[in-house]
Chains A and B, each alone.
Chain A
């Protein structure tokens, strides 16, 4: 427990640095927020008025101080693109991104890990080559392309998938918010119609993401399995006449999982903020497209809020991965 707190305290300087850097970056970036939001038919006075209202006419240190004071009170500022407090926006959009990313990751893991194991165990076999092909395709096809392709085939041509209108069909209503994950919230109240609707909506975007996430996971599983399978304790186990399934699944896999879990964490946090294009194609109201829209409009507060949220998530995620690693590997607990 004390170690945990220490680790959290250790990440504070990093967070402070993130706050300073994003503040400076959003101010240094070219682009004039006031001019943009004054609209196409603005006069010079109205631009000045907006600038004053946003506090952008004050000296930088004063702006920073105001930003910090608000931040301490949990106020991330207002988004000009949505007209809402940034915190509200992020709290609303983060679950959407997280649900999609988790679904994609789950899909990727369920294919990539068996594939990686198979490729490692039967090195040079057909399965190994298949693994290589899938992995190469996964990384080399850009997500917006796979996304559009899937929409074209499964929605436009075949009509199997529902309209890519976001998390739910336009005529369905969202389940009451408990976790923010529609699949979980709908299941909690036993609303299976909404649950099926949400599931149908998430399949294509999750498959798009999953295809992309497949590659690093399968690669690392294969490499890590190969390393473990060559280790002495496996040779001992084989010599002792243990069944090959026991050796692979019980002994080799558990030892090989450590780097896989670490990779999973990285892939998760990367996908969470970086699946902008998938969010765009499927009209998914996620956090990545939110940040990019804001950036295009040089709307500083959402960008700062987004970076800060992601930084905090990274810290927490790393912590979680460490804990999982400790659970998996007794050696990690002593270290």
Chain B
């Protein structure tokens, strides 16, 4: 091409582009549900899979499991306030199972499935599907298997398809967590025939189920663009509960918290998830939106002190730190008031639940006295925290550093990138760490088993070891009666307060903002939104 032609051609091509419109207009597409039938949810990031049982599934995949698949049972829903409905973890209500009966000898439970329940494919749900799905959960490995085990659901032999509509779970041992663990997001039911047909030889159809919904839940996934959006539409033939009001839900991934805030404040988004405490405090103060602030069950923000290594293997020193913590400043300065205080409680636990306020409070004299008693000379140490949650953890760390300086403890802050943080915790060498933990199954012994037990699970970040503690935790987990349970729970709570390998700071809120016309917000242990009960009026 000659250069003159080239120079002439460039602008001509640029101008011609929008005009070059062939007369083929797309065939009139089906009318999309209108704005009032559609919910627009904005969240920080979306699912990385459609299969919550699969290895490496991210937190939002719980929402997919919740909305697109059914479980045998769900937790009984309980209103919390005018905005939020919570749940009672000790009571269950039917989902796929219409009824169930525990055997008189207490060794099994038998479920009767709904006669009319169908999968999205139209095929009736059978007990074989339930068996395949639960077998999968205990065999696939990773988080799903760990979670199933927490309720003594460990082997495929425990699951029996008695007949087409009858399903039995045999108990390995008497465990109060077995039944509630059937209601969390993991043991959901797949359309096993369709999954196996598409598995391409893989026993558990991992690749197929990772990219496809293959079940019978209240919603189907119309489109999934990872990192951009997930579009759900209602399954009109859903029988495991009242038909949801919303026909369509669009969940958009909006990484920037400022943008999420602008969208909800302008009224373009219906619900906003994962709002930083500062923004949420502003939204609450502005009072224009409906807000749900649910204290996350079983969860605390804490400072862990490494009890296996010097200097914090000294109990007096740990107690001195617990008396020196700037609790109030952390709640106000780092969390903008979005949490329940976990300090300043009575010397013995106020109630036998978790979390419970510890008896410590900011009291410099007591801290100094204990520091002197401990015999520790002034020293330098390191505090690690996750850069991923730095909007919260960074001010926390700075406040702790300042508060401990008068005791002669020089704290060096070490901010660790998200990907490395868990690895760093697993090494169990950090003297101090800021972290957050909460179990789905809201029992104190469940929290203590993961965090305080001498079997040293990866959550026992302080590497705390105490045979007395272990004995009480084990006794409470499988307690034969209420009295034994209460004695042991009281025992380990008191010992936890005494030895303070973990210094609880606050119980965080799960904050969600929504427009005034949104109703029926449901909070579950997985914290993900449940579209089935949401309404838009």
Binding site for B on A (CB under 8 A): 30-33, 35-47, 49-50, 53, 79-84, 89, 92-93, 148, 151-152, 155-156, 159, 163-166, 170-171, 173, 176, 183-184, 187-191, 195, 280-283, 285, 289-290, 293, 296-298, 327-330
Whether B268 lies near A189 (C-beta < 8 A) is no
Q: In the complex, which residue of chain A has the Cβ closest to the Cβ of B55?
A: A50
Q: How far is the CA of A49 from the CA of B145 in the complex (A)?
A: 12
Whether B268 lies near A165 (C-beta < 8 A) is yes
- Name the interface residues of B189-240: CB closer than 8 Å to any CB of A: 210-211, 225-229
In the complex, per-residue mask of B1-29: 1 if CB is within 8 Å of any chain A CB, else 0: 10100110000000001111111111001
Residues of A within 8 A of B19 (CB): 187
Whether A293 lies near B227 (C-beta < 8 A) is yes
Q: A46 touches which one: B21, B24, B29, B143 (CB < 8 A)?
A: B143
Residues of B within 8 A of A44 (CB): 426, 458
Instruction: Tell me, rounded to whole Å, the shortest Cβ–Cβ distance linking A47 to chain B.
Output: 8
Q: A170 touches which one: B7, B25, B250 (CB < 8 A)?
A: B250
Known: A32-B420, A84-B226, A289-B255. A151 touches B262 (CB 8 A): yes
Whether B226 lies near A82 (C-beta < 8 A) is yes
Q: How far is the CA of A36 from the CA of B387 in the complex (A)?
A: 14
**B258: CB under 8 A from chain A?**
yes
Known: A42-B146, A297-B419. A330 touches B228 (CB 8 A): no
**B173: CB under 8 A from chain A?**
no
Whether A80 lies near B56 (C-beta < 8 A) is yes
- Name the interface residues of B245-301: CB closer than 8 Å to any CB of A: 250, 252-256, 258-259, 262-263, 265-266, 268-269
Whether B419 lies near A32 (C-beta < 8 A) is yes
Known: A163-B266, A327-B6. A190 touches B258 (CB 8 A): no
Residues of A within 8 A of B423 (CB): 31-32, 35-36
Instruction: Tell me, rounded to whole Å, the shortest Cβ–Cβ distance linking A210 to chain B.
Output: 16
**B306: CB under 8 A from chain A?**
no
Q: How far is the CA of A155 from the CA of B262 in the complex (A)?
A: 8
Whether B417 lies near A31 (C-beta < 8 A) is yes
Whether B262 lies near A156 (C-beta < 8 A) is yes
Q: A165 touches which one: B22, B227, B252 (CB < 8 A)?
A: B252
Of the listed stretches B32-40, B308-316, B393-401, name the one at the interface; the rest are far from the partner chain.
B32-40
Query: Which of A44, A156, A165, A184 has the most chain B CB atoms closer than 10 A to its own CB?
Result: A165
Residues of B within 8 A of A195 (CB): 18
Whether A164 lies near B426 (C-beta < 8 A) is no
Q: B25 touches which one: A82, A84, A166, A190 (CB < 8 A)?
A: A190
Q: How far is the CA of A199 from the CA of B450 in the complex (A)?
A: 53
Instruction: Tell me, rounded to whole Å, the shortest Cβ–Cβ distance linking A223 to chain B.
Output: 22
- Name the interface residues of B93-152: CB closer than 8 Å to any CB of A: 141-143, 145-147
Q: How far is the CA of A3 from the CA of B397 in the complex (A)?
A: 60
Instruction: Tell me, rounded to whole Å, the shortest Cβ–Cβ distance linking A97 to chain B.
Output: 13
**B388: CB under 8 A from chain A?**
yes
Q: Which bucket holds chain B's interface residue count? A: 35 or more
Q: B143 touches which one: A38, A151, A152, A285 (CB < 8 A)?
A: A38
Whether A296 lies near B255 (C-beta < 8 A) is no
Q: B265 touches which one: A30, A83, A156 (CB < 8 A)?
A: A156
Instruction: Tell me, rounded to whole Å, the shortest Cβ–Cβ distance linking A51 to chain B.
Output: 11
Q: How far is the CA of A42 from the CA of B146 in the complex (A)?
A: 7
Whether B56 lies near A50 (C-beta < 8 A) is yes
Residues of A within 8 A of B419 (CB): 31-33, 36, 296-298
Q: How far is the CA of A49 from the CA of B141 in the complex (A)?
A: 7
Whether B146 lies near A330 (C-beta < 8 A) is no
Q: How far is the CA of A295 from the CA of B47 in the complex (A)?
A: 18
Q: How far is the CA of A176 from the CA of B143 in the complex (A)?
A: 38
Whether B25 lies near A191 (C-beta < 8 A) is yes
**B363: CB under 8 A from chain A?**
no
Q: A187 touches which one: B20, B35, B141, B143 (CB < 8 A)?
A: B20
Q: How far is the CA of A154 from the CA of B333 in the complex (A)?
A: 32
Q: How far is the CA of A329 from the CA of B21 in the complex (A)?
A: 34
**B345: CB under 8 A from chain A?**
no
Q: How far is the CA of A281 from the CA of B260 in the complex (A)?
A: 9
Q: How far is the CA of A173 from the CA of B223 in the complex (A)?
A: 11
Q: Can you name 10 A-B pairs with beta carbons within 8 Å?
A: A38-B56, A49-B142, A80-B56, A93-B227, A166-B252, A170-B250, A170-B252, A283-B252, A293-B227, A330-B3
Q: How far is the CA of A53 from the CA of B228 in the complex (A)?
A: 27
Whether A283 lies near B29 (C-beta < 8 A) is no
Whether B48 lies near A42 (C-beta < 8 A) is no
Known: A32-B422, A170-B250, A188-B21. A283 touches B3 (CB 8 A): no
**B516: CB under 8 A from chain A?**
no
Whether B21 lies near A189 (C-beta < 8 A) is yes
Q: How far is the CA of A170 from the CA of B32 in the complex (A)?
A: 12
Residues of B within 8 A of A283 (CB): 252-256, 259
Q: How far is the CA of A289 from the CA of B254 in the complex (A)?
A: 11
Q: A328 touches which one: B3, B55, B457 (CB < 8 A)?
A: B3
Residues of B within 8 A of A293 (CB): 45, 227, 255
**B344: CB under 8 A from chain A?**
no
Q: How far is the CA of A84 from the CA of B253 in the complex (A)?
A: 16
**B378: CB under 8 A from chain A?**
no
Whether A38 lies near B142 (C-beta < 8 A) is yes
Q: How far is the CA of A81 from the CA of B211 in the complex (A)?
A: 14
Residues of B within 8 A of A39 (CB): 56-59, 142-143
Instruction: Tell me, rounded to whole Å, the shortest Cβ–Cβ distance linking B518 to chain A.
Output: 16
Residues of B within 8 A of A41 (CB): 143, 146-147, 439, 459
Q: How far is the CA of A148 from the CA of B24 in the complex (A)?
A: 39
**B241: CB under 8 A from chain A?**
no
Whether A170 lies near B262 (C-beta < 8 A) is no
Q: In the complex, which residue of chain B has the Cβ closest to the Cβ of A30?
A: B420
18 more A-B residue pairs beyond the given contacts A80-B56, A187-B20, A285-B228, with a C-beta to C-beta distance below 8 A: A38-B142, A39-B56, A39-B58, A40-B422, A42-B458, A43-B458, A46-B141, A79-B226, A89-B226, A170-B250, A171-B35, A184-B17, A195-B18, A280-B259, A285-B227, A296-B388, A296-B417, A329-B3
Q: In the complex, which residue of chain B has the Cβ closest to the Cβ of A159?
A: B266
Whether A36 lies near B418 (C-beta < 8 A) is yes
Whether B21 lies near A42 (C-beta < 8 A) is no
Q: How far is the CA of A282 from the CA of B145 in the complex (A)?
A: 38
Q: How far is the CA of A192 from the CA of B125 in the complex (A)?
A: 46
- Name the interface residues of B353-404: CB closer than 8 Å to any CB of A: 388
Known: A32-B423, A165-B254, A171-B38. A190 touches B21 (CB 8 A): yes
